[in-house]
């Protein structure tokens, strides 16, 4: 996490760093935090399919099935599988 934080300090416009912070938070069970990070990655790159897929995973864990389906559909449109 420290490396991603440092990368963002150096350049706050790197979608990958936010996405990867989201992955860490997801693994720690912080689904709200993960969603915030994926949101920021998507703000920076609206075609970031993995961020949509992984945000869908976090929404699913929170019980937001409609939100998860929306994100999975967007990921699929961008060429990312939902497995």
Span 65-82, pLDDT tens digits: 999 999 999 999 999 976
Span 9-49, pLDDT tens digits: 888 999 999 999 999 999 999 999 999 999 999 999 999 99
Q: 48 in a domain, yes or no?
A: yes
Whole-structure pTM value: 0.92
Q: 17 in a domain, yes or no?
A: yes
Q: Is 66 exposed, middle or buried (0-12, 13-18, 19+ CB in 10 A)?
A: exposed
What is the predicted pLDDT for the residue at 83?
A: 61
Q: 15 in a domain, yes or no?
A: yes
Question: Could you tell me the CATH number of the domain that includes residue 27?
Answer: 1.25.40.10
Q: 83 in a domain, yes or no?
A: no
**Domain range for 67:** 2-77
What is the predicted pLDDT for the residue at 81?
A: 79
Number of domains into which the chain is organized: 1
Q: 9 in a domain, yes or no?
A: yes
């Amino acid at each position: 996490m420290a490396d991603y934080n440092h990368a963002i300090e150096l350049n706050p416009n790197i979608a990958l760093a936010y996405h990867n912070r989201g992955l860490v938070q997801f693994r720690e069970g912080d689904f709200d935090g993960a969603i915030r990070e994926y949101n920021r990655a998507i703000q920076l790159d609206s075609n970031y399919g993995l961020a949509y897929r992984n945000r869908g995973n976090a929404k699913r864990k929170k019980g937001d099935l409609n939100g998860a389906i929306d994100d999975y559909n967007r990921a699929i449109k961008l060429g990312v599988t939902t497995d």
